[in-house]
Chain A
Amino acid sequence: MTALVRDPRARRRRSLRENLEGWGFVGPALVIILGLSIFPAVWAFFLSLQEWDGFSDPVNVGLGNYAAMVSDSDLQAALVHTLVYTALFVPSSVFLGLFLAVALNRRIRFVGIYRTAIFVPFVASAAATGILTTYLFNPQFGLVNQLLTGVGLPAQGWLEDPSQAMVVITIMSLWGQAAFTTVIYLAALQDIPVELLEAARIDGASNWQSFWHVTFPQLAPVTVFATIWQVIQAIQLFDLVYTTTRGGPLGATETIVYFLWDAAFKQLQFGYGSAVAYGLFAVTLLITIGVTVYSRRSSVKAF
């Protein structure tokens, strides 16, 4: 192409036109996205060095907000609740997704109906899920307790019991999000060469053996990806807490993001809230990098 354009002036004109054209295509979206992400992210860092309620004059406190985080017992409690939720949610969502994908990955009658029933909850919003949760798990008349007492088990407090509320939130998160891990496992299952499984069968492997020794290792990259993704989702839990318990009972479901929202928008501590947000960002980044490096080293290519 360049050989055709001999005159350097013409070439410069052409490249100016190309640059304008290119930026014309990408410019509008770029301005919006960077303006609503990189710019506020940098601003948040400066905010995190201040004490400010949005009205009075901001006070520079240097790294004071970050120092305060270390000794904040409420934040530590929120961290523990978030870790509890992560430990409950991530393994169960990955296993459930794997299990459902294996179950749905076959041509049997009604499989379309099963699939629809399992996938439809993905469209439920946190607001809708929250209302359904308080109804289904209501200690007095909820369906779950009706079923429990029906089979002779004692009724539970569920969302009103500090030791059970997070379990209920996990169950309903799984209900709404099982479709995601199921779909990515389904896609991966379909990518496994049929020859591999046939070879295993000819060699006399049982279904169970060929699953654990042939299929499961092939799914390793998806497992790594799903785990990272679900961890990131889990440590950002807010919506379902807000629409079910609002952090209660007795603060038992107050997560880091709930704490952040409360600090920033209820108590108007914009500086401290920003510092907590940066802490959360750093943790997310470290987990992602850590798992990626680990899986690269053990030669599982998830990214």
Chain B
Amino acid sequence: MTSLLTQRVDLDATTAATVPKKSEKRMRPSWWHLVLLPVAVIFAVPFVQMFLTSVTPASDINRFPRPFFPSAITFDGYAKLFATSDILLWLGNTAIVSTVAIASHIVLCSLAGYGFARLTFRGRNFGFIAIVATIMIPTQLLMIPTYILFSRLGLIDSLGAAIVPWLASAFGIFLMRQFFISLPAELEEAALIDGCTRLQVFFRIILPLARPALATLAIFTLLGSWNDLVWPLIAINNDQAFTLQLGITNFQGARRTEWSLLMAGNVIATLPLILFFMFAQKQFIATMSFSGLKG
């Protein structure tokens, strides 16, 4: 599995490499626009509808047929959302879950990845095989015993229930180990001879070099923890500890017809990740090819 999971995409490279670069020659018109333009429009429609509906006045929502573009722009949906729900609390909860998850992943997975890649100790191979084997276990198998375990630990209905499963992951360790193996060992050996301890070497030399891999790890963790639904659904019934995804899913039943409010909630839940994607598209795409994990 290793070769495909760690494959990277270079967005600027194509197999049709014979075409000269933008600066050298004007790009020729292509028939592919006739294919790509409609496909891109279809893919864009759901998010466009989401943004438009969130600012649509109620009078438009009740019109038939419903206009695609609103006749006026209003933020009533957002105002009502903030006034009648705990959406900001849920946003804060999700932000806490994702922040802790990312921080913990970066520390624990890179420590373990480094240990498995570079240190020699008894049981190393066994430990690594055990970790990789857990990737095969579907989460559905773990839901029931984890629920029982967490309820005995008193975590159920608290934010802790949403956080603990995201503290570390086998994928994260696997990713970091692959990265550290590809790193030349000379740097750390020099530092060790100069009398640095392993931990000093790790934090001062290795981690700064690992930035690209850590970016992938952080995005992977952000996507998973921000969007997680099934586990919070099982473990959290107390609406003070709701995550954002749980909150907007609950709306769907309770506020069935208040579409501008529903879509405003949707925008709040999705916009941070959309902006993040726009901002760091290359890193996101590298992460996608690595994981494909969703839902």
Q: B138-153: contact bitstring with A at CB < 8 Å (1 yes, 0 no)?
A: 1111111111110000
Q: A233 to B124, alpha carbons, bound, how many Å?
A: 31
* Chain A residue with the shortest CB-CB distance to B30: A108
Stretch at the interface among B81-89, B207-215, B273-281: B273-281
* Chain A residue with the shortest CB-CB distance to B202: A25
Kindly identify which residue among A33, A177, A278 contacts B294, using a CB–CB cutoff of 8 Å.
A177
A19 within 8 A of B: yes
**Which residues of the other chain, B, contact A115 by a CB distance below 8 angstroms?**
11
A111 within 8 A of B: yes
Enumerate B191-207 residues with CB–CB distance to A below 8 Å.
198, 202
Kindly identify which residue among A22, A37, A237 contacts B134, using a CB–CB cutoff of 8 Å.
A37
Q: A285 to B133, alpha carbons, bound, how many Å?
A: 12
Q: Is the CB of A25 within 8 A of B112?
A: yes
**Which residues of the other chain, A, contact B18 by a CB distance below 8 angstroms?**
194
A77 within 8 A of B: no
B240 within 8 A of A: no
Enumerate A207-243 residues with CB–CB distance to B below 8 Å.
215, 221-222, 225, 229, 232-233, 236-240, 242-243
Enumerate A23-38 residues with CB–CB distance to B below 8 Å.
23-26, 28-30, 32-34, 36-38
Interface size grouping (class) on chain B: 35 or more
**Which residues of the other chain, A, contact B265 by a CB distance below 8 angstroms?**
131
Nearest chain B CB to A49 CB, angstrom units: 13
A119 within 8 A of B: yes
**Which residues of the other chain, A, contact B262 by a CB distance below 8 angstroms?**
131, 135
A123 within 8 A of B: yes
Q: Is the CB of A274 within 8 A of B144?
A: yes
Q: Is the CB of B114 within 8 A of A37?
A: no
Stretch at the interface among A67-75, A157-165, A179-187: A179-187
A250 within 8 A of B: no
Nearest chain B CB to A16 CB, angstrom units: 10
Enumerate A248-297 residues with CB–CB distance to B below 8 Å.
257, 260-261, 264-265, 270, 273-274, 277-278, 280-281, 284-285, 288
Q: A18 to B123, alpha carbons, bound, how many Å?
A: 12
Q: Is the CB of B16 within 8 A of A18?
A: no
* Chain A residue with the shortest CB-CB distance to B177: A26
Q: Is the CB of B14 within 8 A of A242?
A: no
A114 within 8 A of B: yes
A156 within 8 A of B: no
A188 within 8 A of B: yes
Q: Is the CB of B140 within 8 A of A260?
A: yes
A141 within 8 A of B: yes
Nearest chain A CB to B222 CB, angstrom units: 9
Q: A191 to B13, alpha carbons, bound, how many Å?
A: 10
Q: Is the CB of A25 within 8 A of B114?
A: yes
Stretch at the interface among A5-13, A40-48, A83-91: A40-48
**Chain B's interface: helix, strand, loop or mixed, by majority?**
helix
Are A114 and B269 CB-contacts (below 8 A) given A22-B121, A183-B289, A281-B138? no
Query: What is the size, in residues, of chain A's interface with B at 8 Å between Cβ atoms?
Result: 109
B116 within 8 A of A: yes
A247 within 8 A of B: no
Q: Is the CB of B165 within 8 A of A36?
A: yes
A116 within 8 A of B: yes
Interface centre among A123, A233, A270 (most CB of B within 10 A): A123
Nearest chain B CB to A230 CB, angstrom units: 8
Nearest chain B CB to A13 CB, angstrom units: 14
B187 within 8 A of A: no
Q: A28 to B53, alpha carbons, bound, how many Å?
A: 46
B73 within 8 A of A: no
B19 within 8 A of A: yes
Q: B1-14: contact bitstring with A at CB < 8 Å (1 yes, 0 no)?
A: 10110011111011
**Which residues of the other chain, A, contact B50 by a CB distance below 8 angstroms?**
128, 132
Q: A7 to B121, alpha carbons, bound, how many Å?
A: 20
* Chain A residue with the shortest CB-CB distance to B111: A25
Are A107 and B14 CB-contacts (below 8 A) given A18-B121, A143-B49? yes
**Which residues of the other chain, B, contact A47 by a CB distance below 8 angstroms?**
144-145
Are A187 and B144 CB-contacts (below 8 A) given A125-B270, A126-B295? no
A54 within 8 A of B: yes
Given A33-B173, A43-B145, A183-B289, 11 more contacts at CB 8 Å? A21-B119, A26-B116, A34-B130, A108-B30, A114-B40, A121-B47, A125-B229, A126-B295, A183-B9, A187-B9, A280-B141
8 closest cross-chain pairs (CB), A and B: A22-B121, A25-B115, A125-B227, A40-B145, A29-B112, A117-B40, A123-B273, A26-B115
Interface residue ranges, A against B (CB under 8 Å): 15, 18-19, 21-26, 28-30, 32-34, 36-41, 43-44, 47, 54, 100, 103-111, 113-132, 134-136, 141, 143, 146, 175-180, 183-184, 186-192, 194, 197, 215, 221-222, 225, 229, 232-233, 236-240, 242-243, 257, 260-261, 264-265, 270, 273-274, 277-278, 280-281, 284-285, 288, 302-303
What are 23 pairs between A and B in contact, CB < 8 Å?
A21-B119, A26-B116, A33-B168, A40-B149, A105-B16, A107-B19, A109-B27, A121-B46, A125-B270, A126-B227, A127-B269, A128-B50, A131-B266, A132-B46, A177-B294, A183-B289, A184-B7, A190-B13, A232-B138, A265-B147, A273-B144, A280-B138, A281-B138
